[in-house]
């Protein structure tokens, strides 16, 4: 559950633009010692954070703290959001400031996810700042495949100007916090129903992910009840989450050292047929798998 983001000298953190059309969904619950900042610039994303569901739309700035277990559960096909993480050991001087000390804790001040919708001018400033910090980084396709920090062994974030990146990251960190502390916090969501928690877990850990008829007995409720509760609390149909888990497995299989064929990866991910996989893939990414996997994006 504790994820190593492989941040080493000379980098104080990293930043990249995560895009649904490039980025395989990382759907496992995890946390890391580095505080994380997201800026949603397009579409919508959904997280489960500490047993509560959150929905963020374009224009939202949000923080994920080291003590918060978070799991991405859904994104719209056009979703795009900057992800920045910061090494806490490089921010130790902030402990001397009452204003910024809370940023170095394991949990946010108050309850729930700390988020804010900055005014248009402030939002555009952050967006431009994060875009400029991405310049000089690795290829966006590569960063998206590796979720910024590295899903395959041996990968490490790199940048052509570490000094400039580090200075920019600290400035970004402080600017984003000043915007957040002056904004209005969203009310915390109610805890997830036990059946919804069980459904999330069972779909994520089972091979293949169970269909509704198999899932309901494991959740201790009827099929109609778990389906209704899941949609009500997660904001998406249960089958959509199941499809996302299988897509995540497919992408992981395709990037493995075994170099499987597409059809081999389709079956390993749990899809019943190539036709089903192609339909789900196109719905998620807006194009077919061969175009997405083998066509270079600009």
pLDDT the model gives residue 73: 94
Instruction: Quote the CA–CA distance of 127 and 133 in Å, as a whole number.
Output: 10
Q: What are the structure tokens assigned to 291, written together?
A: 């175009």
- pLDDT tens, N- to C-terminus, the chain (298 residues): 899 999 999 999 999 999 987 777 678 899 999 999 999 999 999 999 999 999 999 999 999 999 999 999 999 989 999 999 999 999 888 888 888 887 788 988 777 899 999 999 999 999 999 999 999 999 998 998 889 998 888 888 999 999 999 999 999 999 999 998 876 666 678 999 999 999 999 999 999 999 999 999 999 999 999 999 999 999 999 999 999 999 989 988 887 777 789 999 999 999 999 999 999 998 887 788 887 766 544 4
Cβ-Cβ contacts under 8 Å for 12 (sequence gap 6 or more): 86, 87, 90, 91, 165, 166, 169, 170
Instruction: Quote the CA–CA distance of 196 and 238 in Å, as a whole number.
Output: 9
pLDDT the model gives residue 185: 62
pLDDT the model gives residue 186: 62
Residues of the chain with CATH 1.10.10.60: 194-294
- CATH architecture group of domain 13-181: Sandwich (2.60)
Residues of the chain with CATH 2.60.120.280: 13-181
pLDDT the model gives residue 11: 97
Q: What is the pTM of this model?
A: 0.91
Query: Where do the H-state alpha helices sit in 114-190?
Result: 120-134, 140-145, 162-181
Phi and psi at residue 85, in whole multiples of 5°?
-125, 155
* Half-sphere exposure at residue 162, Cβ-oriented, CA atoms within 13 angstroms: 9
Q: Which helix (H) or strand (E) holds 16?
A: strand 13-19
Q: What are the structure tokens assigned to 41, written together?
A: 């610039």
Instruction: Quote the CA–CA distance of 188 and 52 in Å, as a whole number.
Output: 8
Strand 114-116: give its sheet, edge to edge.
13-19, 80-86, 36-42, 61-64, 114-116
What is the third-level CATH fold of 194-294? Arc Repressor Mutant, subunit A (1.10.10)
């Amino acid at each position: 559950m504790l994820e190593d983001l492989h941040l080493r000298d000379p980098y104080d953190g990293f930043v990249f633009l995560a895009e649904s059309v490039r980025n395989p969904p990382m759907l496992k619950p995890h946390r890391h010692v580095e505080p994380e900042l997201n800026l949603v610039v397009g579409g919508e994303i959904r997280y489960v954070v500490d047993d509560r569901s959150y929905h963020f739309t374009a224009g939202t700035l949000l923080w994920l703290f080291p003590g918060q277990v978070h799991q991405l559960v859904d994104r719209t096909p056009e979703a795009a959001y900057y992800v920045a993480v910061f090494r806490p050991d490089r921010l130790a001087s902030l402990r001397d400031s009452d204003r910024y000390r809370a940023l170095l804790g394991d949990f946010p001040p108050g309850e729930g996810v700390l988020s804010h919708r900055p005014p248009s001018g402030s939002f555009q400033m952050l967006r431009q700042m994060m875009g400029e910090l991405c310049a000089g980084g690795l290829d966006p396709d590569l960063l998206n495949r590796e979720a910024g920090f590295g899903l395959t062994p041996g990968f490490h974030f790199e940048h052509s100007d570490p000094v400039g990146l580090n200075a920019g990251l600290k400035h970004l960190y402080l600017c984003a916090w000043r915007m957040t502390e002056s904004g209005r916090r969203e009310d915390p969501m109610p805890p997830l129903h036990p059946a919804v928690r069980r459904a999330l877990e069972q779909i994520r850990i089972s091979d293949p992910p169970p269909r509704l008829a198999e899932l309901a007995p494991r959740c201790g409720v009827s099929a109609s009840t778990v389906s209704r509760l899941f949609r009500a609390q997660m904001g998406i149909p249960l089958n959509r989450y199941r499809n996302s888990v299988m897509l995540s497995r497919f992408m992981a299989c395709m990037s493995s050292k075994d170099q499987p064929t597409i059809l081999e990866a389709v079956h390993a991910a749990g899809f019943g047929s190539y036709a089903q996989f192609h339909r789900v893939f196109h719905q998620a990414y807006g194009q077919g798998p061969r175009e997405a996997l083998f066509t270079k994006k600009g």
